[in-house]
Homo-oligomer: A and B are copies of this chain.
Amino acid sequence: MFEAAELGRSMSKAEYDAAVPALQTKLLELQRQLRAASFPVFVIVSGVEGAGKSEVVNRLHEWLDARGLRTVSFFDETDEMRERPAAWRFWREHPPRGTIGVFFGSWYTRPIVDHVYERIDEDAFERAMARITATEAMLVADGALIVKLWFHLSRKTQKKLAGHPRKATKSTWKVTPLARRYAKRTDVFRGVSERAIQRTDAPHAPWHVVEAEDRRYRDFTAATILCEALERRLAGPKPAVKPPAPAPAPPIRAERGQTVLDRVDLAARVEDDDYRRRLDALQRRVFELAWMAHGRGVSSLVLFEGWDAAGKGGAIRRLTSALDARLFRVVPIAAPTDEERAQHYLWRFWRHLPRAGNWAIYDRSWYGRVLVERVEGFAPEADWSRAYAEINDFEAQLTEHGIALTKVWLHIDKREQLRRFREREKTAWKAHKITAEDWRNREKWPAYAQAVHEMVVRTSTPGAPWTLVAGNDKRVARLQVLEAVADHLERSLDARGGRKRK
């Protein structure tokens, strides 16, 4: 494949000088248009070490406006990164809509290097490529433009870099020690890179292999590719994402109006004494597991969804009062901030992922996408129907990292909700909890029930099942929540086995 990028292409100084001003004018104009557009641009800068990626990036900075352009580089890993799923470090640097993010070192770097140095095997490498493909498809489906550049050098040039670590002269002073080290494995890198490119080349996120022997040709070509991609994307609609992006499945309808919620035993009750005894035992169990998990660096993520007035707040408090306050954080999900709106909807959840051994408790969650956004029509059907697969993939990344994920739906019936609304209106310090919106949501009960049904069916996975909690008796609900949390955490600790946090 790389042979096509070993044709010895170059650009004379005269050609270059003549062509650059027009290219720059165009880039600046496109960047201006981009500002008003509502999608982000990812420029993935990859390729062999020594090909001058750093110079290309600098050139882009020279030609483009610094506003709305940001380069992020991903080399060494900090402990804050290691404590979270691998993708976290990329999510935190996603460019906001209307801007360009140059990814220098990207989600490709680690799998390729790890495979070259045999730290991961074939299977792990293929899985990494499949995940990248899914992630890119998800970003493009959300509107993103992904421009993937691979800078190539011939074997001959690479060997030269490896063999002759010359003293710094004007033409070589940017050859880094890394380039010399990597160049010693030129052939292995070549094979692995070729496979990475083949596996992840897709019409909606194609690779561009750029011949990097000649600086002028290299820089001009890279900028031209960006220019053309921007132009196309600004002119047309966002590209259709063909599989491997999961095609939205036909909607799942509750049969004869029967939803999974009907299976919840709302008649369950618990006696006072029994409640206190069991609550105490469960809280202690959670407390002990939490410290054990902290010691082993296992994080917990508990998310609460449920009908209005189903008792989320109370259940969360029974959980947090079993935890040391330095270990958890409650993340209430309300309207997104403008920084959040400028990102993919999952971004705001990635950003709050807890550090190793800590807890994040989401009061409402990413499931808003397939609940309120669906029912209220905030997200078009194409978006929310795609979300099930996106969410499953997101959660798989959490659980694969060893995070204990508990997903709770707090269920009550319509009559109980009415009783609680009325009661709240009567109680001074609870009155603020009932708004006109709550009454409006209540009118849409059947639509929500349908949405919940489909959500549970589609996103209950072995690693991240839903727990449907019987909420008509608040105390029953609290016990069920604590039990689910403890069970999930215990299972994650078992799975992790003896591995200790250093």
From B32, B326, B338, give the contact of A432 (CB < 8 A).
B32
From B28, B32, B78, B432, give the contact of A80 (CB < 8 A).
B78
The complex places the Cα of A53 from the Cα of B325 at a distance, in Å, of 9
| Cross-chain contact A71 with B329 (CB below 8 angstroms) | yes
* A171 at interface by CB-CB < 8 Å: no
The smallest C-beta distance from A387 to any residue of chain B, in angstroms, reads 24
* A54 at interface by CB-CB < 8 Å: yes
Q: A29-B429, A71-B329, A338-B339 are in contact. Are A62 and B317 (CB under 8 A)?
A: yes
The complex places the Cα of A363 from the Cα of B80 at a distance, in Å, of 28
* A45-94 with Cβ < 8 A to chain B: 53-54, 57-58, 61-62, 66-73, 75, 78-80
| Cross-chain contact B28 with A332 (CB below 8 angstroms) | no
* A7 at interface by CB-CB < 8 Å: no
| Cross-chain contact A326 with B429 (CB below 8 angstroms) | no
The smallest C-beta distance from A334 to any residue of chain B, in angstroms, reads 6
* A330 at interface by CB-CB < 8 Å: yes
| Cross-chain contact A61 with B320 (CB below 8 angstroms) | yes
| Cross-chain contact B339 with A432 (CB below 8 angstroms) | no
Task: List 7 extra interface pairs beyond A54-B325, A80-B80, CB under 8 A.
Answer: A21-B429, A28-B432, A54-B326, A61-B317, A71-B326, A173-B284, A174-B324
Q: Which residue of B lies closest to A340 (CB)?
A: B339
List residues of chain B with CB within 8 A of the CB of A105.
326
* A12 at interface by CB-CB < 8 Å: no
The complex places the Cα of A177 from the Cα of B32 at a distance, in Å, of 58
| Cross-chain contact B61 with A330 (CB below 8 angstroms) | yes
| Cross-chain contact B320 with A58 (CB below 8 angstroms) | yes
* A428 at interface by CB-CB < 8 Å: yes
* A157 at interface by CB-CB < 8 Å: no
The complex places the Cα of A81 from the Cα of B449 at a distance, in Å, of 46
From B28, B58, B69, B321, give the contact of A321 (CB < 8 A).
B58
Taken together, the copies of this chain in the complex come to 2
The complex places the Cα of A313 from the Cα of B313 at a distance, in Å, of 51
The listed residue with most B CB atoms (<10 A of its CB), out of A68, A69, A324, is A324
* A337 at interface by CB-CB < 8 Å: yes
From B79, B316, B338, give the contact of A79 (CB < 8 A).
B79
* A10 at interface by CB-CB < 8 Å: no
List residues of chain B with CB within 8 A of the CB of A280.
170
The smallest C-beta distance from A2 to any residue of chain B, in angstroms, reads 24
The smallest C-beta distance from A92 to any residue of chain B, in angstroms, reads 11
The smallest C-beta distance from A162 to any residue of chain B, in angstroms, reads 20
* A416-474 with Cβ < 8 A to chain B: 428-429, 432
The complex places the Cα of A390 from the Cα of B67 at a distance, in Å, of 27
From B25, B66, B80, B429, give the contact of A24 (CB < 8 A).
B429
| Cross-chain contact B25 with A66 (CB below 8 angstroms) | no
List residues of chain B with CB within 8 A of the CB of A345.
none
* A287 at interface by CB-CB < 8 Å: yes
Q: Which residue of B lies closest to A56 (CB)?
A: B325
| Cross-chain contact A61 with B329 (CB below 8 angstroms) | no
The smallest C-beta distance from A397 to any residue of chain B, in angstroms, reads 21
Q: Which residue of B lies closest to A322 (CB)?
A: B58
List residues of chain B with CB within 8 A of the CB of A176.
324
The complex places the Cα of A284 from the Cα of B105 at a distance, in Å, of 24
